Chains A and B, each alone.
Chain A
């Protein structure tokens, strides 16, 4: 009996847009997944060599080490302003920021609102993991009511510490924003959906349709004090109700593009 001659086929490999090096991210953290999705999309679009990334301050401060892309590193919160400067002098390049929730929704609120309201033609990848990761798990603008962090040790008390900011919903109210969606990285199904959204966001930029942002709900097992598996469950049970997934702003031109 002769075995059928099955040709070898590569079904999985490192995207060209990712640098072949080990990341510093904690086990179970979804930053790596988000990086990979961005890299795959840029490769698939043929944009890797035409892209300039803007890293922010937070756990992803070293994102530039992991992408095989021209990169700059912004001051805390200012990535959308820096990206604006680059995009305005290089309108034909793809420019994106990669920002966490403390960076974007706290210290950088002015810059993200300014960029979105101007309809700046950049793409923002926004990681929401409900705490400040790099500095050791303090309360973030996205920390849930009652959630314990190292700076809300008895749980976020909304009377004293206010309410979490629903970024996608808020930015979607701005006329200048074109594509604002929230996705999650807690299951393979959601990861696939997140990738589609990232693709659409970059297509929006490529077609000159304005400001695009994908909020990605992410896990932070180390600072949440959980295993990777527990953190996926916690995200699903606790974060999803407060941060519903969905398309918050799809401008008519973007809707046309998606057809």
Chain B
């Protein structure tokens, strides 16, 4: 199928539909609205359910219900809307049913603004909902990757009976890029045995997240964690650029990652041996490659469109072996490549330290520029 120029939000919607999405439930919020709008036209056109819910609470619980039937279902939202969905996400995790969430992140906290940001890293990667659970988190950096990861999200959700989030920021949602959409897949016909459908005279099925008996709940938690270990073993994805001879390594995901790529190339032109590690799965986090790089590289620069939420995961792996510095912009401000280049040069020029916290040093510098 040929590439077409397509907006990120629209591309994700169409990719989901072609991947066999059987029902969509959502609520309008900028900057993800085109996703919902596209499906509001396309789903009824091919006879599949689309519901604009009364709220994000309604939407995620409609997804919960439909997910209990074992069908391919999803919702999409943006940061404040996803906050409202946290309840339902925890229940879905606790019931072990597959579902896909697309979060097109905007500036926050609170109502914030509609500009692109990555401030949802913590709420998506490290929970947000209550209890011991993980979401498998995919972070595209381009429209094509958003398409591919959306299709993958459904497969992974079903493979592990798991929640899968596609975490992208507003600029990927709003940007047009050439992308090849997947071919139309037939809808799934095999319904998993655990899915409710009516007993038809057979044994009844019950899907619930309640376990009043703590030892039984603990067994369930153990099952979830074992499954997560399996996911950690099988599903880590990342993309490396210029890492082979890299003395310095920039780590950034999504849009911050591709902005860093421009800076890394500019630095390479100046003879600086710098590479880029762009995690594609934020959970599970690409620990092994980062661990390997911690032995080889002189120093790390983490770049994010937030206050350093992924930074903590990087520091956990680097464990003080090498200096880690941080650069971020917050609240919907997107860094330009030259800002990142300046930070790469700072890394090269030193002095570098493994003392203190990189966030403190960054905040001191940022305070001088934006007051």
Which of B64, B67, B201 counts the most A-chain CB atoms under 10 A from its CB? B64
Known: A110-B57, A114-B53. A71 touches B62 (CB 8 A): no
Q: Please count the residue pairs between chain A and chain B whose beta carbons lie under 8 angstroms apart in the complex.
A: 136
Q: How far, in angstroms, from A114 to B59 measured CA to CA in the complex?
A: 11
Q: How far, in angstroms, from A64 to B209 measured CA to CA in the complex?
A: 12
Tell me which of B65, B95, B210 contacts A85 (CB under 8 A). B65
| Stretch binding the partner chain, chosen from A73-81, A203-211, A226-234 | A73-81
Q: Please tell me if the beta carbons of A89 and B88 are within 8 angstroms of each other in the complex.
A: no
Q: Please tell me if the beta carbons of A54 and B65 are within 8 angstroms of each other in the complex.
A: yes
Q: Please tell me if the beta carbons of A110 and B62 are within 8 angstroms of each other in the complex.
A: no
B residues 174-223 with Cβ under 8 Å of A?
Answer: 196-202, 204-210
Q: Please tell me if the beta carbons of A85 and B67 are within 8 angstroms of each other in the complex.
A: yes
Q: Mark B51-64, 1 if CB is under 8 A from A, else 0.
A: 10111011101111
- Nearest Cβ on chain A to B364's Cβ, whole angstroms: 44
Q: Please tell me if the beta carbons of A111 and B61 are within 8 angstroms of each other in the complex.
A: yes
**Is A166's CB within 8 Å of the partner chain B?**
no
Which of A48, A64, A86, A117 counts the most B-chain CB atoms under 10 A from its CB? A86
Known: A49-B198, A70-B197, A113-B54. A86 touches B204 (CB 8 A): no
Q: Please tell me if the beta carbons of A70 and B208 are within 8 angstroms of each other in the complex.
A: no
**Is B20's CB within 8 Å of the partner chain A?**
no
Q: How far, in angstroms, from A69 to B54 measured CA to CA in the complex?
A: 28
Contacts of B71 in A (CB 8 A): 89
Q: Mark A32-64, 1 if CB is under 8 A from B, else 0.
A: 000000000000000011111011000001001
Contacts of A117 in B (CB 8 A): 54
**Is B293's CB within 8 Å of the partner chain A?**
no
Q: Please tell me if the beta carbons of B206 and A64 are within 8 angstroms of each other in the complex.
A: yes
- Nearest Cβ on chain A to B26's Cβ, whole angstroms: 12
Q: Please tell me if the beta carbons of B63 and A85 are within 8 angstroms of each other in the complex.
A: yes
Contacts of B198 in A (CB 8 A): 49-52, 69-70, 90, 93-94
**Is B73's CB within 8 Å of the partner chain A?**
yes
Tell me which of B23, B58, B64 contacts A89 (CB under 8 A). B23
**Is A88's CB within 8 Å of the partner chain B?**
yes
Q: Which residue of B lies closest to A50 (CB)?
A: B198
Q: How far, in angstroms, from A114 to B54 measured CA to CA in the complex?
A: 6
Contacts of B196 in A (CB 8 A): 52, 70-72, 86
**Is A82's CB within 8 Å of the partner chain B?**
yes
Which of A61, A78, A117 counts the most B-chain CB atoms under 10 A from its CB? A78
Q: Which residue of A lies closest to B196 (CB)?
A: A70
B residues 67-83 with Cβ under 8 Å of A?
Answer: 67-69, 71, 73
**Is B285's CB within 8 Å of the partner chain A?**
no
Q: Please tell me if the beta carbons of A71 and B65 are within 8 angstroms of each other in the complex.
A: no
**Is B91's CB within 8 Å of the partner chain A?**
yes
Contacts of A74 in B (CB 8 A): 61, 64-65
Contacts of A61 in B (CB 8 A): 210
**Is A30's CB within 8 Å of the partner chain B?**
no
Contacts of A220 in B (CB 8 A): none
**Is B300's CB within 8 Å of the partner chain A?**
no
Contacts of A177 in B (CB 8 A): none
Known: A54-B65, A75-B88. A85 touches B23 (CB 8 A): yes
Q: Please tell me if the beta carbons of A70 and B209 are within 8 angstroms of each other in the complex.
A: no
Q: How far, in angstroms, from A158 to B270 measured CA to CA in the complex?
A: 75
Q: Which residue of B lies closest to A73 (CB)?
A: B208
**Is B22's CB within 8 Å of the partner chain A?**
yes
Which of A49, A81, A84, A93 counts the most B-chain CB atoms under 10 A from its CB? A81
**Is B49's CB within 8 Å of the partner chain A?**
yes
Known: A61-B210, A70-B196. A85 touches B61 (CB 8 A): yes
Q: Please tell me if the beta carbons of A110 and B55 are within 8 angstroms of each other in the complex.
A: yes
A residues 65-119 with Cβ under 8 Å of B?
Answer: 65, 67-75, 78, 81-86, 88-90, 93-94, 110-111, 113-114, 117-118
Q: Please tell me if the beta carbons of B65 and A75 are within 8 angstroms of each other in the complex.
A: no
Q: Which residue of A lies closest to B210 (CB)?
A: A73
**Is B87's CB within 8 Å of the partner chain A?**
yes
Q: Mark A1-32, 1 if CB is under 8 A from B, else 0.
A: 00000000000000000010000000000000
Contacts of B62 in A (CB 8 A): 81-82, 84-85, 88
**Is B121's CB within 8 Å of the partner chain A?**
no
Which of A51, A65, A83, A84 counts the most B-chain CB atoms under 10 A from its CB? A84
Q: How far, in angstroms, from A234 to B329 measured CA to CA in the complex?
A: 63
Q: How far, in angstroms, from A93 to B38 measured CA to CA in the complex?
A: 28
21 of the cross-chain contacts (CB-CB < 8 Å) are: A52-B197, A68-B199, A70-B205, A72-B95, A73-B95, A74-B64, A75-B87, A78-B58, A78-B64, A78-B88, A81-B53, A81-B58, A81-B59, A84-B62, A85-B64, A85-B66, A85-B73, A86-B65, A88-B62, A90-B198, A110-B55
| Contacts beyond the supplied A71-B196, A78-B58: 10 A-B pairs with Cβ under 8 Å | A19-B204, A64-B206, A71-B206, A72-B68, A73-B206, A85-B63, A89-B69, A90-B197, A90-B198, A118-B51
Q: Which 10 A-B pairs have the closest CB atoms?
A: A85-B65, A114-B54, A82-B65, A85-B66, A73-B208, A81-B61, A85-B62, A88-B49, A78-B61, A70-B196
B interface, CB within 8 angstroms of A: 22-23, 25, 49, 51, 53-55, 57-59, 61-69, 71, 73, 87-88, 91, 95, 196-202, 204-210
A interface, CB within 8 angstroms of B: 19, 48-52, 54-55, 61, 64-65, 67-75, 78, 81-86, 88-90, 93-94, 110-111, 113-114, 117-118
